[in-house]
Structure 1
Amino acid sequence: MFYQRQLLAGAVVSALASWSFSAHAQTTPPTSEASSEASANAAAAPVLRPIVVTANPFESEENAQILTPAKVLAGDELRNKLGNSLGETLSQELGVSASAFGAGASRPIIRGMEGPRVMILQNGMPVSDVSTVSNDHAVATEGATARQIEILRGPAALLYGSGAIGGLVNVVNDRIPTLLLPRLTGEVEGRYGTVDGQKNGSFSLDGSAGQIGYHLDGNYRDTDNYKIPGNARQGDASSASGRLPNSFTHETSLGGGVSYIADWGHIGLSASTLDDHYGIPTDEKSFIDLHQNRYDLDTLVREPFAGFESFKFKLGYTDYTHIEKQQDGTPSTVFANRALQTRWELTHKPLAGWRGTFGVQTEQSNYSAIGAASGTAELTPPTRSTSFAGFLVEERNFGPVLVSAGLRGESVQRRPDAGSGLADRDFSLLSWSTGALWAFTPGYGLGLTYSLAQRAPTVEELYSNGAHESTSTFDIGDGKLQKETSHNIELTLQKTEGLVRWKGNLFQNKVKNYIYGRTNGKVDDSGAADPDGEFTQRFWSQGDATIHGAEAEVSYNWNGEGYSVRGFADTSRGKLDNQGNLPLQPATRYGVGFGYRQGPVAGGVQVLRAMKQDRLASFETTETPSYTQLDANLSYTQKLNGVKVTWFALARNLLNQDIRLSTSVLKDSVPLSGRNLILGVRTSF
């Protein structure tokens, strides 16, 4: 605790001291707030603009993300795809699937990599929840109040931590303002869904007073158990039908921030709170009560001293708790995580043609999973983790060739409670990447990247030893696990200009000491073998693995005025070397979407086909059937008393298909929801 207070005090003092660096007066660069203001005053017809990827160290446009292939969801596209969870929102993006543990908990899976290999950020800082621990744990960030959601896969993702070995997702809500607005702006949305009685309302407000910018946002969501097309359990007519038991959700969030903004930059603070109450759709019918408080500080100083373009400092503190409760409300396990992170970045001016960013990132967390009744570590002992990392990324143009290189060194320590009798572990990690993009003709690019990434085993992978009620597993960690090392190579070819655009990616990941959960029969609550036991024994194990795949997308006038069309496909396959397939691998998918936009009217339809997934791990027993998902959307935008109002209707799973995801540990007993019609209205001013 002393170290935590000392680090916090030092960080704040350093940030305040940065005010003394004067900067030359200059025009404030456009940000997402400025774009929102422009959109609010524009006519109903859209004005296409480049989308800035804020999680990239150079904040370049989405189309420039060759060395870190990216997708940015924003505006109408984000609102149309918004789901009850982050995994559901992103589940149809290229190369992205979802863990699909009911309506309340679903995490994105990128190119077959899940859990701690996919880092979740909020405004460029780790979310610091416990969603990496288990699939029944929700991601503690809210998409309904996001300005945009960014997906990064590739070398630059490594700059945010060893947990980004598979990629990262950054939820941007701009809670700390960076621009002084001439008047109050905002957005309010309400929606209702038929499949689960969803009632959802969200809002965001931005304004300024003198040199002070301020922001406020909030969300409320309440859903009942959702409707399903057939029976909950495949091939079992006696299992639940009509609605999926215990699939309800109830979530509220509120956040706000203020900042002092001047020509030299800004310094700001934000605070937010999140409460999430949702059911676990297993036979035990348990549920989770989640609460998180989060505090952030963000500082930017332009031209702090000679030779440098900017200095950035971020600090985040998270206080997270969730209680897993039995059906009658009796608390079972209390998960807690308190984390303090800092991030320091300096971007230097071009030096011998090279432009670069370097910095330091630190994190200290205290994690525990304690039995509510006993007060003892029944699943995972209290463990203190610390990390210290330094990173550097550089890029330079050599004529038509853009070259990029990055390096990250990190030290990670795991310190379980002394009374647990478990050994401390220390890991030294080194990750690096290099790549090049050749613009062989205007609008076309050929890119090749190679990266090496290392990841330390998580606390639960090392030290778990007990029953986990919500997943019905008895988890057993291995204190001798070694760090993962991934060698990734990727080839990209794309066309980024004109009405017709396309891109294709080929990738391969070879992972040494890949960590995975290996199941081994039924046990009772003490871990003893029992054919009729309520828990499945799961060992954290290691083996070398290879994951390879391909992605392709082609579009005509996508999101433009008039008619548009988009086709897409992705596939990946993961194998444990000489041990068969990796578990929970995504199915091969392909699809096509048609759109129309003219003046105030916009609409579209998309069909997605997922193939049967029969590439099973040695301990998996059932195939995942194929499915076809048909979705549609329609909206009408008008001005009422100077306020932009959009009426919209979204239709999901129009064919009422029994959809099960091969990436879900509950695929045999928990299908996705059936046909759903969502009606809503959104205003912006």
Structure 2
Amino acid sequence: MRPSLFQLSPVALLVASVFSTQVQAQNMTIQGLVLDSDGQAIEQARVHVHGRQQYVYADKDGRFTIQAPADSELHISAKGYGDQFIKVSATQTNQLTVQLQAGGLERIVVAASGLHHYDLEMANPVSVLSGEELSRKTEPTIGETLKSLPGVHSNYYGPVAASPILRGLDGPRVRILSNGLDTADVSRIGPDHAISADAITTEQIEVLRGPSTLLYGSGAVGGVVNVVDNRLPRQLRPANTQIETRYGSGADEKTAALAHDGGQEQVAWHFDGFKRKTNDYDVPDFTNDEGENSDKLANSWLDNSAVNGGLSWITDKGLLGFSIGHIDSEYGIPGHHHHAEHEEEHEGEEHEEEEGHQEAGVFARVKQDRYGLAGELYKPFAGVETLSFNSALTRYQHHEIEDGAIGTSFKNDSIESRFTAEHETFAGWHGVVGYHLQNSDYQAIGDEAFTPDTKTDSHALFVLEERSFGEVTAQLGARIEQVQYKASGIEFEHHHDDEAEEQHAAENVKNDFTAGSLSAGLVWNFQPGYNWALSVSRSERAPSAAELYSNGAHIATQTYELGLAYALDDDGEISKSASDIKKEVANNIDLTLRKFEGDFTFTYNLFYNKVDDYLYMQDSGLTMADLDAHEDEGHEEDPDHAHEDEEFAIFQYRQQDATLYGAEFAMAYQLTAEQELELFIDSVRAKLDNGGNLPRIPPVKTGIGYSYSAQDWSASLDWTHYMKQNRIAEGESSTGSYQILDFAFSYYFNLSDLDLTAFAKANNLTDELGFVHSSFIKEDAPLPGRSFTLGLKARF
């Protein structure tokens, strides 16, 4: 049975009933002005109601208006300034005037933290991209947008599909969230599948490095990426509209985006949308693994769009909101192309190129509809501070099309709900308890359907608690999760003749796992502007459905993948495995030192992750041609494709103990009020305990940046160096070093009632040829070459 909105929650009825009987709102309307030490307005300063979701941004004159409960505490922050906490009295009548001192790091509320934590008070390392920095680094994929952050890399399946890698971990070990709930796409099934979330209309992107399993499930042993927008409004905002257009020379990119927020009395609304279109990306001249020369990344075009909207009822008792979103995307898949056809295509006019995309190679057509429902009740009864729920129903469809016909279809219908109760301080402890539900119905049909149809049900209980002991804050958490897989159509014998198929009928298989996770953390503010943070966790992960049941050729990775549920002998015979399937257990230690006040700030992270029964793919030494009774059946109409498939090596999922450790360092120095210098470096070492390295582990990355901010303009210059990676797994090739130089410039001005920003970017100024070690198609997909982007943003 397909999920429906009726399953979202009986809690929604409870919230609605409370709202229907409550009295007129008692929120205060607070007005204020945010200035710097010279009395100049600070535009885009963030004003946040501490411990709640409500926040607004100051306008160009530094003014803000916010609705907040009586006797609340406001947190005022801005990039490049020390922040302030202001207690608001119920009798407050005068306008607030807040002055922020230059220097120090901006504290940012991390929506994915679970307890409204600021990034600088979390035991686990976290990075947040927001505001102008997010706009400057926005790329068509989340992986490429985030790859400059310490500890973050990209698996880069060309510019069209790139997922983030956190400390050497990706795929099912990294949860990609949209406003705290899974994106529910199929990006973790294969690297050629794009993440459905997009950065162009978001407000901030949060990256939690290290195990984040307590709130988000056993799959998050590597970390969490949370894409935060305002599609389901959680605060009343003055009417505000932002329009952005940009053009990029490297792929003839044309992008337009719009976001609008507004509110009146107790109703808040939001709308956003974007349209992006590119041709194939320019790359520096290179020779691919077939000996062909090219200055284009074949089949790397994009044509995608999205619209989102939401409506909320907000009072001093809480909120109730609904959102809806639709994604419609097409993109070429590098590595699936016919080179000659592609070269002929680019000899024609632009419109001929676009019409020829279907002829040039395989492309993906993605559609997703997502419906959200959320509510919060403030102080519903004694002992409970906030009762909340957040739910999403997602229907996702992904077709891969070759020669005008659908070759493979992926579908995923899912529903996810999280219910939490944040209790008031009891015996010194403040925290949240909750229940987390996830159901998905995944189907794959066609040539690349290497994973069977699978229904997944997950139920979990979790608790997060914290308590302050003077300058030390202790954070504790636990989660117990039950995961059940029901896979259909499994054939444990690999034969292709009719007689064998009659003897070995398809089976329905069920697997159950119970995963438990524990964490403990300490944050010690040992002197003003400094803190130490220590986090220790034990996180269990149930294998994903793909790791269990994969059995087929995966064109994207150019391998034949075989899951843990199967056994493979030396003669290429596939049968049902008699071995026990174990949970993956990550034992992680994180140590962080931060300095966050003054002109000189830094963050230093050290981590050590000992993983028992780590799941990875191991080369069996066989190819598809070695499979028992393999006679190329089913490929007669495409003999070239069949021949290529026979050359694919058979990789089988194995379990073995592994160790990952490394360091991340980031610093910023405010040279003057206008000038800032930044430096970062990250590294990760990942190896199997019985010898050998894990595959596709990113190299050491280091970078330096300089920025200048004047009253009417700003500029930045960033240089990033990726070192050579020669610590490689068996069968893997080393990757040379490269460096990328980027430049950005913004000019701020007003035209009538419009607040305008004109910007220009130059990426890879030196036209450096770079290959991404963590990419499955690194020899065929170098990074984009020199590209210039021009854009204009208007706010009114």
TM-score class, shorter: over 0.9
CA deviation after TM superposition for structure 1 residue 281, in Å: 1.0
1:318-337 Cα deviation digits (max 9, x unpaired) = 000101122x1221111111
Native 8 Å contact 2:409 2:446 kept in 1: yes
- Contact kept, 8 Å, 1:68 with 1:157, in 2: the verdict is no
- Offset of 1:35 from its aligned partner? 5.7
Alignment of 1:672-683 (within 5 A): 672-683=783-794
Task: Determine if the alignment matches structure 1 residue 325 to structure 2 residue 401.
Answer: yes
Equivalent position SS for 1:162 = coil
Corresponding residue number in structure 1 for 2:114: 57
| Cα distance change of structure 1 residues 241 and 218 upon mapping to structure 2, 3 Å threshold | same
Give the deviation of 1:517 after TM superposition.
2.1
Which residue among 538, 549, 554 is the counterpart of 1:463? Answer: 549
Partner of 1:367: 442
Q: d(CA) in 2 for partners of 1:123 and 1:594?
A: 32
Question: What is residue 10 of structure 1 aligned with on the other side?
Answer: 10
Q: Quote the residue 2:240 is aligned against.
A: 185
Distance 2:293 2:759 in 1: 33
Closer, same or farther: CA 461–618 of 1 in aligned 2, 3 Å: same
Q: 1:684 maps to what in 2?
A: 795
Give the stretch that moved more between structures: 49-58 or 573-582.
49-58
Q: How much has 1:651 moved relative to structure 2? A: 1.1
1:335 aligns with one of 388, 405, 410 = 410
1:202 and 2:257 equivalent? yes
Inter-partner Cα distance in structure 1 for 2:771 and 2:677 = 27
| Residue equivalent to 1:512 | 612
Q: Which residue of 2 aligns with 1:247?
A: 300
**Residue 544 of structure 1: which of 657, 664, 670 is its match?**
657
CA contact 1:651–1:676 (8 Å) conserved in 2: yes
Task: Say which is worse superposed, 11-20 or 292-301, in terms of deviation.
Answer: 11-20
Letter in 2 for 1:557: Q
Compute the displacement of 1:214 (Å): 0.8
How do 1:48-447 and structure 2 match up within 5 A?
A: 48=81, 50-65=107-122, 67-154=123-210, 156=212, 158-182=214-238, 184-233=239-288, 238-284=291-337, 285-326=361-402, 328-371=403-446, 378-417=449-488, 420-447=506-533
Quick one: distance in 1 between partners of 2:625 and 2:272? 46
Following the alignment from structure 2 to structure 1, what is the Cα–Cα distance between the partners of residues 714 and 654? 50
State the match for 2:99 in structure 1.
Answer: none
Q: Deviations over 1:326-381 (max 9, x none)?
A: 2x122111111110111101111111211101100001100111127xxxx94222
* Contact 1:525–1:535 (8 Å) recurs in 2: no
Is the contact made by 2:299 and 2:333 (CA closer than 8 Å) also made in structure 1?
Answer: yes
Specify the structure having the higher radius of gyration (Cα).
2
Distance 1:382 1:436, change over 3 A: same
SS of the residue corresponding to residue 172 of structure 2 reads helix
SS of the equivalent of 1:120 reads strand
Over residues 389-442 of structure 1, what are the superposed CA-to-partner deviations in whole Å (9 max), with x where a residue is unaligned? Answer: 011111111111111111111000001126741531000000010011221111
Shift, 1:283, TM fit: 4.5
Cα distance in 2 between the residues matched to 1:204 and 1:139: 21
Contact 1:594 1:606 in 2 (8 A): yes
Q: How many residues align?
A: 673
- AA of the residue aligned to 2:13: V
- Matching residue of 1:556: 669
The answer to whether the 8 Å contact 1:11/1:315 transfers is: no
Question: How far apart are the structure 2 equivalents of 1:21 and 1:447?
Answer: 45
Q: Does residue 26 of structure 2 align to residue 25 of structure 1? A: yes
CA distance in 1, matches of 2:551, 2:2: 30
The DSSP-based 3-state class of the residue aligned with 1:77 is: helix
**Residues 127 and 15 from structure 1, CA distance in 2 versus in 1: closer, same or farther, beyond 3 angstroms?**
farther
CA contact (8 A) 2:401 2:408 kept: yes
Question: C-alpha offsets along residues 79-129 of structure 1, whole Å, 9 cap, x if unaligned?
Answer: 000011000000110100001001111000000000011101111111111
- Given that 2:205 and 2:225 are in contact with CA atoms closer than 8 Å, whether structure 1 keeps it comes out as yes
SS of the residue corresponding to residue 112 of structure 2 reads coil
1:282/1:266 Cα in 2 relative to 1: closer, same or farther (>3 Å)?
same
Q: C-alpha separation between the residues in 2 aligned to 1:21 and 1:61?
A: 34
- 1:232 deviates by 4.8
Distance 2:126 2:59 in 1: 23
Task: After superposition, give the CA deviation of every residue in 1:39-80 in whole Å (9 maximum; x if it has no partner).
Answer: 45549x978553211111121222223x02111111100000
Secondary structure in structure 2 of the residue aligned to 1:78: helix
Is structure 2 residue 698 aligned with structure 1 residue 586? yes
Tell me how far apart the structure 2 counterparts of residues 296 and 443 of structure 1 sit (CA, whole Å): 39
Q: Cα gap change, 1:277/1:337 in structure 2, threshold over 3 Å: closer, same or farther?
A: same
Which amino acid letter does the alignment assign opposite residue 193 of structure 2? H
Question: Structure 1's 545 and 601: CA in aligned 2 closer, same or farther, altered over 3 A?
Answer: same
Partner of 2:350: none
Cα gap change, 1:470/1:427 in structure 2, threshold over 3 Å: closer, same or farther? same
Indicate the residue corresponding to 2:759 in structure 1: 648
Which residue identity does 1:439 align to in structure 2? Answer: N
* Distance in 2, Cα, partners of 1:178 & 1:378: 40
Of 702, 710, 715, the residue aligned with 1:603 is 715
Q: Distance in 1 between matches of 2:164 and 2:439?
A: 25
- Unaligned 5+ segments in structure 1 are none
TM-score normalised by structure 1 residue count:
0.94
Q: Secondary structure at the match of 2:219?
A: helix
TM-score by length of 2: 0.81
CA distance in 1, matches of 2:518, 2:53: 34
Q: Which amino acid aligns with 2:246?
A: R
Q: Match of 1:299, as an amino acid? A: G
Letter in 1 for 2:107: P
Rounded to whole Å, the distance in 2 between the matches of 1:648 and 1:33 is 31
Task: Report deviation, 1:209.
Answer: 3.5
**CA-CA distance at 1:481 after TM superposition:** 3.3
Hey, what's the Cα distance between the residues in 2 that align with 1:481 and 1:463? 12
Provide closer, same or farther for how the CA distance between residues 609 and 344 of structure 1 changes in structure 2, counting only shifts above 3 A.
Answer: same
RMSD: 2.4
CA contact (8 A) 2:3 2:415 kept: no
Q: Describe the superposition over 1:475-529 as per-residue Cα deviations: whole angstroms up to 9, x where unpaired.
A: 2112253211100011111111111001111101111111112234542597849
CA contact (8 A) 1:474 1:525 kept: no
Change in 2 beyond 3 A, CA 1:333/1:442: same
Cα–Cα, structure 1 residues 9 and 596, in superposed 2: closer, same or farther, change >3 Å?
closer
Among 44, 58, 61, the alignment partner of 1:38 is: 58
Q: Secondary structure at 2:58's aligned position in 1?
A: helix
**Structure 1 position 279, deviation (Å):** 1.0
Moved more, 8-17 or 427-436: 8-17
* Structure 2: distance between partners of 1:614 and 1:499: 38
The Cα shift of 1:561 comes to 3.9
- Decide which of 747, 768, 772 is 1:661's aligned counterpart: 772
Shift in CA distance, 526/38, structure 1 to aligned 2, threshold 3 Å: farther
- Structure 2 distance, partners of 1:79, 1:489, is 33
Unmatched tracts of structure 2, length 5 or more:
30-46, 64-77, 82-105, 338-360, 491-505, 566-579, 632-641
Query: 1:457 is aligned with what amino acid?
Result: P
Contact 2:3 2:413 in 1 (8 A): no
